[in-house]
Amino acid sequence: VELPAALVEDTWCGANVVGKVEGVKPKSDGLFLANISYDDDTAGDELTQLINVIFGNTSIYPGVQVTDVELSSRLHSLYPGPKFGIDGLRELCGAPNNAPLVMTALKPMGTSA
């Protein structure tokens, strides 16, 4: 939700759409690993919306990375993974092992068209 937390905390949106912080663990040098969960219905069974939920807001914060995604059993049954496996998908895309396969659209601000 691209709103200040105070606007959604005590609402249906805050209870059902906003991610819940399940845990935060220090890693090293001021880095932390956060575990955030979302209600299965947040994405409405749409893969593109699920990707938007996971990556949408994190992409606007510098230094924040999504390093792993674990699906619930229900979502895993809807999206079992790429037909050729992650290695096959990387090969088809020509993407090296450390390159992201999805990213946000660039939205430059303050420039003329």
Segments of the chain with pLDDT less than 70: 1-2, 103-113
d(CA 42, CA 36): 13
d(CA 91, CA 3): 38
Q: Report percent pLDDT > 70 for the chain.
A: 87
Decide: pTM greater than 0.85.
Answer: no
d(CA 14, CA 36): 14
CB 25 within 8 A of CB 32: yes
CATH annotation of 5-93: 3.30.70.150
pLDDT at residue number 22 = 94
d(CA 36, CA 68): 11
Q: What burial class does residue 1 get, using C-beta atoms within 10 Å of its C-beta: 0-12 exposed, 13-18 middle, 19+ buried?
A: middle
